[in-house]
Structure 1
Amino acid sequence: MKEVLYRSALAVAIVTALGSNPALAQQAGTDDQAVQLDQVSVTAQRREAQMQKTPLSMSVISGPELDRMQVKRVDDIKFAAPNIIIEQNTGTSSGAKIFMRGVGADESMFTNDPAVALYIDDVYIPRQNGAMFDLYDVERIEVLRGPQGTLYGRNATGGAIRYISRKPTGESKLALDGSIGNLGRRDARLSFATRIGETLDVSAAALSRQRDGILKDITHNRMVNDQDVLAGRLSLASTWGEASYATLSIDRLRERSTPAWGTPVALDANGNQVPRLGSFYKTETDTLGLNDIDQFGVALTNETDFGAFSWRSIAHYRTLDHHFYMDVDGTAQTRYHLEQDQHQNQKGYEAQFTSQLDGPFSWVAGVFAFKEHNDQPTRSDIFVRGGTNYIAQDTSAYAIYAQGDYKFTDKLTLTLGGRYSYESKDFSVRAVKANGEPNFSKNMRNSWNRPDWKALLSYNFNDNVMGYASVTTGFKSGGFNGRGSTPATLVQVDAETLRAYEIGIKSTLWDNRLRLNGNYYRLDYDGIQLAAVNPEGIFVVTNATGALIQGIELEAEAQLTRGLKLNATLGTIDSEYQKYKAINAAYFRGHPMKNAPELQWTFGGSYVQPLGNADLVFSAQARYTDEYYQNQDASRLIMRKAGHEYNARIAYEPRDAEWSVALWGKNLSNEFASTGGFDIAGLGVGVIYPNVPRTYGVEFSYRFW
């Protein structure tokens, strides 16, 4: 651990030294191959600004970096941001388990809300199931770390991830991208854009992603954990009136992948994980499983310029249908099977008002309204076929918010923000025994309200260095344990809250060839909604404790020459449970928090080598994650071991042609890692969900016009 931390800090120190050494800076200034880093614009504070002028810990991936870093899906973002865990959730093919700085949620049941908010073009995605989106036709990704309680509010205690798609611009385009590789990898992306008449801009994109399975089901002699996804998006944009611009977006997704099967594991005499079937990529099951996902969404965004201020509104409607039947136990017996048939729909509206006058004071204000309905028959087969619980929940959420900046001088700015949130949930269960007889029913309702606030001071030491200090709060509403199988376990949990303190610095050095950002954060986390599985296989949710989490984050990006660009991140998490009751001291005192590795770092870069009338573009990324536990009991049986991941890509890009080709590889060291697991001693269940082994292939792109 200390050796890895030393090497990581040394790498960042070297990059820092390059930017602060006058002799090297002077040498770079005379190098005709040296260029500056591109400016990065973001809208993280609901108004467009330069990333380096935004006093917020954030990571951004945009432009060519999306392809060079092979950011194809939401979980690929972990190669570009510190202190983040993004993995496929247990048992599902497209559930997204996201933790930032040790704050998150790994229970995908709709009664448990995530703690990291995910937005697609400012449309809030409330469910983990179906949230592992493919990132196609995307302009940039913004990763905002820490609570975003003022401007984003709902369930953003850990942070927010914003996926901003390409908007229609009137450009005429038809392009095809494809990729083939081992494990039967077959991807295709088609994008089209045009202008109809004088004002209507149209863009469309379609995606097909297919891959064979990575686990051998030895019971049925087949491969499982495959991928079979079809998706598409249509966008229409037009000006109307004298100062308005509207965009209509429609998206559709169909997935028929198999469920994510786990592989049975045990511990050897030294406490190491070993596969029960001789390989981490083998499993047993007495069922074929089911995993059908269908999503649909439509969103209408309108922007109007009133001169003194602008008005932006976002109205949306989305549906999700997800029917799956999975074998949790990894054996050829029925120890623990789970079936659920989720039907979800949501609708929402948000209006944002942004000041546009010159002067020392600027502001953003808005209103937010959201409604969601879920209903889901759920059946747990524990040794025998179980009964069915018909679970439903209606959620309503409303908020009003405002945030203002006041510039006392050209250097010193004070930011104050506030948000008032109200949420209500109506929850019901009708339980039926396996023989069809009524078992029990229960209805519960509650509401929660909370004011959140933000106070921030930023100071420009000069044109290139900015420091900031902030205090921010976050709130995640309470709820109910939808997986409870008896009236006694269908309990209510209270809201969880978080207060974050952060001190940071953002710098652009070396004649804009180096960006170096760093921060220290402290999170006072209270009322944590802990989800766990007891030895009998019953899911339990409680507000058992609080925690103190703190650490540092560093991000560096350097354009060393015209062709060579490097990037690095470093993140640490020091977490400790606190505020637990004396009766729970033995359970929490000295125990680690789950999904909170002490150290993570990434290092990557790209190099462009001219070759005749073309460029060879070499790019690679490395990522290290310290060991961390994946359940509340800190079980070594399903622990994620410390390890590295390596990706690389080599592209041939002719300058005067409409095509390019690239060789790519992911997890090149073929290192095994557990992305999740279940340790249920009372049922004899111990399974982990393996990562995708080494993959490689070739991709191509062609632009017809």
Structure 2
Amino acid sequence: MKHSIATSKQHNTLYKKSVCALAISSALFSANIYAEEATDSKKAGLERIEVTARKTTESLQEVPIAVTSVGAAELAENGISNITEIERFSPNTTLQASRGTNSTLTAFIRGIGQQDPLWGYEPGVGIYIDDVYMARPQGAVLDLLDVERIEVLRGPQGTLYGKNTTGGAIKYVTKSMSGDTEFNIEGTVGSYSQRDLKITGQIPLIEDKLYVGFGHGMLKRDGFGEFLVAPNGSDTENYNKELTASRLTLEYHATDDLFMRLAWDKTDDDSNSKGGFRLLPSLLAPNAPIPDSKYDSYTSLPTWNKVELEGISLTIDWQATDNLSLKYVGSKRESYSPTNIDFDNTGLQIFDVPAVYDDENSSNELQASYRGDGFNVVGGLYQYSGESCGQYDAIIFLSLTAEVSGCNESESVAAYIQSNIDLTDKLSLTLGARYTKEERKADVYNDLYASIEYPYDNWIPGYDRDSSLPKTQVLGKDTNGDGVLDAMKSEDWSRFTPRVGIEYQADDNTMYFASFSQGFKSGTFNPRAGANEDAADPEIVDSFEIGMKKDWTDALRTNITLFSTEHQDRQYIVVVPQENDTDLGQFLANAASSDVKGIEAEVTWLATENLTLNLAYGHLSADIKQDETIKVPLVGLSNTPDDTFSLSANYLLESSVGVFMINAGYYYRSDYTIFEDDDSLKQDGFGQVNASITWEGNDGNWYGGIHAKNITDKEYMVGGYNFTSRNPDGSYGPGFGGDTTLIGYYGDPRTVHLTVGYRF
């Protein structure tokens, strides 16, 4: 148990960085195969896209689920710089940098995800890197992309991937090393003084047997705006970037049938904490008028911020027989993130929240795959252990501190199996099931101090935190019956999640499918609990899909899915009146259910030998039903537009100096709200225009590209805070903290960057 986070982490530096570094060398390997893939796919018709969505390697057109695969060539063509840009390729998908930091991910698929990144909360979209589960959103905005492909699996993946994939899953699939000696250096310069340097390579230690890969990256950029008011000595850049990442990979090809990989990664993100834009003038801080720029802000906290993660993983893949393969994946990850969150964004301490997040987890998975005569089956055992701790000091009214700290511990074990059985030459049946047992433990401590306090000693000059200040345990167990809570509170759940599907292969190029699948999101305790409350129940998602995947000709492909999703027992933080009707308490409750129906279409057309058009469209409509016993005025699905649309064109031009790829695209999102229970923070529909030109030299050594993003400089909200009250006439009045705190955070403005690389 960790009740003093600052103390425990100041002495532990072993695992404190980011998953970003896991793929740092892979980012450059994508350029190695770019020209070759681009030329082959454009001249030979529609390419075969392989995915591992069902934990075996299959053609995308043979997988009976809604999945988008973005390969290395496409990433290079579009100058993709981090995971959030993948959203424009996948219908009904939201991937955005969260409020407050550059590297915390807000992910939603089909209206299901995680709005609040507080410790202990479970995501609704699972993030996987080479089958390793990334449990927390901190650090999940990966700036260095993987070489092989990124897969977006839409809809619950509860059978093969387990809990916390109720909305779907995102998979990074890295490429095995070639075994040759390779070295790559790449530099990027761009808007807002962007200056990136990436160095990667690999060296064979034993020919055809043992290889070591390495990489290091430094990514820097000035802020899109500035802090107009900040404490003396603070860096005033807002929305800046300062990130370093390193990795080492050891691969051993013992035999043709036995492969092992040991991977280590580490990243420091020292970008400043992001300041939000005040949408209403402050009632208490006359020095904080509404700024002219959406990227300017004010703060009374230091602007430094940190996200540190480190991880190590081991993969062993053995082709035991021609039909049977066995695979083991084990990992250990740890992260540490002290952060400064100024909720009111003024120069006064009206509502400031300095905080610390502290996470560690490990997992082990043993998987078997068997291909028989007319059937294949994959099954396995999975174990996960995690501890997520945190502490924040909410400084309010210029003089009070409401302190909350605690830990959530999770132990999960599961067994799963899924089989595809040929009933006839054209008709097949998919049957899958997973049994998950989950135990959660939690404690919460809080107290109110008539002084300004910070999460650890001497954080800010002039404030000396007395580490002996008492804290009251409000969520826990009375183990000895003396009426005093003195241990973690615990709860456990188990769930059987099935999948049933039927597929009809009408001809070599046409597949129809229908399926039922179920997802399970763990129950959890409220990390902000003000009393010894019970845990919220798990969320259950039932999904029905029908779809068609068809290659009409060698030049035209359409993948279309219709879906209906029933989301039961959605978890919300709700404010409920106490018995005396004067005080309000925050409780984590299962406040609502939703019924979402929609369609997703992806179309690829090779219009000419050199010109490719791609279209992706998603539409959904939601009916939200509230729990009658809990009055929560829900207004819509968080971060989820009714419509997403993208259209892009790629033109391949071969010349005497190399291969050029010219790319242009338009991406549209209809209006959406940031929070499900409030429409004060609402983003109107908007579109973005992006364009790129990439080049690969004839000698295969030099390459480069110029990329322009958000060319029309659209301003769009991706996060926010609302602590206001509403008057009878609809105007805003003061809320928590005594001010009109309505804050928005925004996506990137127009940027242009140039990349040049050399490899040998």
| TM-score normalised by length of structure 1 | 0.90
Is 1:596 aligned to residue 640 of structure 2? Answer: yes
Give the distance between the partners of 1:462 and 1:52, measured in 2 at CA: 12
**Contact kept in structure 1, 2:152 and 2:169, CA below 8 Å:** yes
**Contact kept in structure 2, 1:34 and 1:560, CA below 8 Å:** no
Aligned position for 1:68? 77
Aligned position for 1:562? 609
2:710 aligned to which of 640, 656, 667: 667
**Cα offset for 1:439?**
3.4
**Cα offset for 1:686?**
0.5
Aligned positions of 1:240-639 closer than 5 A: 240=254, 243-266=257-280, 276-307=290-321, 308-357=323-372, 359-383=373-397, 384-434=399-449, 436-443=469-476, 444-484=489-529, 486-487=530-531, 491-511=534-554, 513-531=555-573, 540-578=587-625, 580-583=626-629, 587-588=633-634, 591-636=635-680, 638-639=681-682
Aligned position for 2:722? 679
Give the distance between the partners of 1:587 and 1:662, measured in 2 at CA: 48
Question: What's the Cα RMSD here?
Answer: 2.2
**Contact kept in structure 1, 2:695 and 2:703, CA below 8 Å:** yes
Aligned position for 2:46? 37
Distance 1:139 1:533, change over 3 A: farther
CA deviation string 1:118-149 (max 9, x = no partner): 00110000101111112334211010000001
Give the distance between the partners of 2:757 and 2:609, measured in 1 at CA: 24
Distance 1:120 1:608, change over 3 A: same
Distance 1:538 1:98, change over 3 A: farther
Give the distance between the partners of 1:250 and 1:554, measured in 2 at CA: 38
**Contact kept in structure 1, 2:196 and 2:217, CA below 8 Å:** yes
**Cα offset for 1:241?**
6.0
Give the distance between the partners of 1:223 and 1:101, measured in 2 at CA: 35
CA deviation string 1:577-615 (max 9, x = no partner): 12x333557834xx3222221111011121112232322
CA deviation string 1:408-428 (max 9, x = no partner): 112100000000001111101
Tell me the secondary structure at the aligned position of residue 266 of structure 1: coil
Distance 1:286 1:533, change over 3 A: farther
Q: Which moved more, 1:682-691 or 1:395-404?
A: 682-691
Q: Which moved more, 1:190-199 or 1:95-104?
A: 190-199
**Cα offset for 1:570?**
0.3
Distance 1:649 1:285, change over 3 A: same
Q: Mark the runs of 5 or more structure 2 residues left unpaired by the alignment.
A: 1-40, 282-288, 452-468, 477-488, 578-582, 725-734
Q: Mark the runs of 5 or more structure 1 residues left unpaired by the alignment.
A: 1-31, 268-274
Tell me the secondary structure at the aligned position of residue 183 of structure 1: helix
Is 1:47 aligned to residue 56 of structure 2? Answer: yes
Give the distance between the partners of 1:98 and 1:698, measured in 2 at CA: 28
1:218 aligned to which of 228, 250, 253: 228
Q: Which moved more, 1:656-665 or 1:143-152?
A: 656-665
**Contact kept in structure 2, 1:156 and 1:476, CA below 8 Å:** yes
**Cα offset for 1:534?**
9.2
Q: Structure 2 counterpart of 1:530, which letter?
A: Y
CA deviation string 1:294-335 (max 9, x = no partner): 111110000112214111000111110111122111222212
Distance 1:182 1:151, change over 3 A: same
**Cα offset for 1:676?**
0.8
Q: Structure 2 counterpart of 1:293, which letter?
A: V
Give the distance between the partners of 2:95 and 2:584, measured in 1 at CA: 25
Tell me the secondary structure at the aligned position of residue 61 of structure 2: helix
Give the distance between the partners of 2:470 and 2:432, measured in 1 at CA: 54
Give the distance between the partners of 1:585 and 1:507, measured in 2 at CA: 47
CA deviation string 1:548-572 (max 9, x = no partner): 0001000011222232111110000
**Cα offset for 1:245?**
1.2
Q: Structure 2 counterpart of 1:447, which letter?
A: D
Q: Structure 2 counterpart of 1:483, which letter?
A: R
1:179 aligned to which of 184, 188, 192: 188
Give the distance between the partners of 1:538 and 1:120, measured in 2 at CA: 39
Distance 1:319 1:112, change over 3 A: same
Distance 1:112 1:678, change over 3 A: same
Give the distance between the partners of 2:493 and 2:291, measured in 1 at CA: 48
**Contact kept in structure 2, 1:614 and 1:655, CA below 8 Å:** yes
Give the distance between the partners of 2:256 and 2:83, measured in 1 at CA: 38
Tell me the secondary structure at the aligned position of residue 377 of structure 1: strand
CA deviation string 1:13-67 (max 9, x = no partner): xxxxxxxxxxxxxxxxxxx985312211111111111111111100001121011
Tell me the secondary structure at the aligned position of residue 437 of structure 2: strand
Aligned position for 2:34? none
**Cα offset for 1:515?**
1.6
Q: Structure 2 counterpart of 1:521, which letter?
A: F
Tell me the secondary structure at the aligned position of residue 409 of structure 1: coil
**Contact kept in structure 2, 1:253 and 1:295, CA below 8 Å:** yes
Tell me the secondary structure at the aligned position of residue 348 of structure 2: coil
Give the distance between the partners of 2:52 and 2:123, measured in 1 at CA: 22
Tell me the secondary structure at the aligned position of residue 721 of structure 2: strand
**Cα offset for 1:675?**
0.6
Give the distance between the partners of 1:387 and 1:532, measured in 2 at CA: 19
**Contact kept in structure 1, 2:567 and 2:594, CA below 8 Å:** yes
Q: Which moved more, 1:624-633 or 1:373-382?
A: 373-382
**Contact kept in structure 1, 2:229 and 2:346, CA below 8 Å:** no
Distance 1:626 1:312, change over 3 A: same
**Cα offset for 1:259?**
1.0
Distance 1:138 1:541, change over 3 A: farther
Distance 1:204 1:410, change over 3 A: farther
**Contact kept in structure 2, 1:91 and 1:328, CA below 8 Å:** no
Q: Which moved more, 1:529-538 or 1:128-137?
A: 529-538
Is 1:646 aligned to residue 693 of structure 2? Answer: no
Aligned positions of 1:26-175 closer than 5 A: 35-175=44-184
Distance 1:160 1:438, change over 3 A: closer
**Contact kept in structure 1, 2:146 and 2:173, CA below 8 Å:** no
Q: Which moved more, 1:59-68 or 1:383-392?
A: 383-392
Tell me the secondary structure at the aligned position of residue 76 of structure 2: helix
Q: Structure 2 counterpart of 1:602, which letter?
A: S
CA deviation string 1:346-394 (max 9, x = no partner): 111001100033x012100100000011222221112234143231121
Q: Structure 1 counterpart of 2:652, which letter?
A: V
CA deviation string 1:504-529 (max 9, x = no partner): 00011222x22210010000110001
Q: Which moved more, 1:426-435 or 1:623-632?
A: 426-435
Aligned position for 2:249? 235
Give the distance between the partners of 1:79 and 1:110, measured in 2 at CA: 29
Distance 1:429 1:496, change over 3 A: same
Tell me the secondary structure at the aligned position of residue 78 of structure 1: helix
**Cα offset for 1:242?**
7.2
CA deviation string 1:207-227 (max 9, x = no partner): 221111112211149321211
1:200 aligned to which of 210, 214, 217: 210
**Contact kept in structure 2, 1:468 and 1:504, CA below 8 Å:** yes
Give the distance between the partners of 1:533 and 1:84, measured in 2 at CA: 29
| TM-score normalised by length of structure 2 | 0.84
| Aligned residue-pair number | 659
